[in-house]
A and B are shown apart, each in its own frame.
Chain A
């Protein structure tokens, strides 16, 4: 029994070793393929999970690949995790950052460099389900929210109205808004985009009450027509003094930023040019994102946009 075992394992070792050696020296498809031509290095783009981001990142990736760059795309959480990865040298580009300067610590160390705005403007706000805006027209003024608070009660909101905050990584000031405006609402942290989509969609379909955090560009605005009409307006909008702006104010509109790694910042090739020049509108992004949401692969959706907008692409390439 024992002898059999050893002899058998010997065969196994020889077999595996032979396979490995073979894989080391045989002629392979590797040699013939790859080795794209062009004056461009290899870079890694951080892929954040929302569709709008995917749209921007994929378009940049496709343009870069077509111009000889080697691009890897790595799915990562937004914020510190990605900044860390940039510091470690495993990520070179965030194409859309909402952080509003949250990268400062990393920027001070020279690990993350601000590469300008990407043309998209982020709008954040609190929205009620659109059917409510139609039925109760004055609900979109924050002063009247308390009047309707009872409508928003759920089993989870402790006798107050339920107020659904944005996903964990997003900029949220709901607690301050509720406190400063003395709203009779309880803040519930929805925790993910999925939870908000679920909330808005069901509320609109079943005509139930819902107030939640929403932002643009976001494909949910294409799926729920009139979602814009549910935008609840809060007093003042002065964000210049962050301390004074805590609570009474609404969210400011945020120009979305491109952030690059030290390596990308110091390089000088096709990809640097593309990244520096990249800029497009919310409509551009929404179009591509809607195609992805509709079932197209990100590659195909990006290519479709690239084919339809040769001028913009040319401008990015600096031609």
Chain B
């Protein structure tokens, strides 16, 4: 069966209800889209959704209103009016879904741009993260570096302290010079060695000024330039008071990082005392060898001299009438006796410890005994004694006769040095620290010239005229004191001010140990 027509009323009803539902749903959609833009106003998607919904609301409203109006107008039989309104409704619809289309295309482009911006932002964020990581690493490195620097500084400080301690506390001379050989820094021991009170007095002085012999400095400098160092070279340095110090110098050049000479650094060891001891030892050895020689010679000569003396005396008896011959024989006898005395002295020098008894000796008493004998003759030449004896000296074990002989010898030498009109000073003292007694005999004579100071203890060395002295007095005295474990020191001029103030030009100092075991063993 063929259907002739279909009713349009269902279409209108669906349109009417559908249009109402469209408006309701579009308003719900618009509500949520609006809420999204409020919740996240920066979101491009929600902005798109908002305008998408807005356009669809417009479409729904336009169509809904259009369909409702059409339904109402057609229902009331006014199709003409609907025909007039319909184009507006259609045009509005066109605008709405065109807008939706535009928004969709626009959103896509915006989204691309957003994606690119987002990618850039992510890249920027990653770069920022990397930068932060790098900064963190740098900070840690910096912190580590600070710790390292602090640690190294501490080590350096400790090292500096250690070397500073070595520099300041060293008993040897340590010094630094610049390229002009001016002293840049010097340790306290060196300041003391060079005879200054403070470091500031020495710094800036030319090093060569301290050399006694300028030629020696030139030689040092030349060797330093050629080899870059000098090692264990002995030098004699002069102090401001004119005294000298013997030092062993080791000097090295200092160079900067470019190899240019920056200056020099050196160490000096004071060997003055060692040198004195060495010289004393040499002297002792010399004396010992001369003593042995003298003993041999004296023994051999003594017998012929005795025979010559005996025969001379016999001839004197026989030639009593011959005055000329007798006079000649007297001269022979006299000279032979002189020879015998010299030989006797030599024998005493060589065997000085052999013929005397060791007893407890009061040194002051010994000095007084000698002075009792000699003072009168000294006074004859207007030489007076300035006696300063210590009150309580310990007794020493010594050969009293020998000790007297030494004091007499030294007084004789002082007498000879003064000749007349002067003072001989005598001091005795006890040094508890060294446990020794010192007998000091000084005179106001002319002093001992420096050039002969090293020879005065040599046998047969004398400044007296021929016949007046044998040159054995000091040698014999030296030997006696040596046998007692002591030594004799000559100072001209004296080192101590009290002697200088007393007007002494020369002092002879006898050092005698209070306890001398070897002397008793020898006995």
- A complexed with B: no
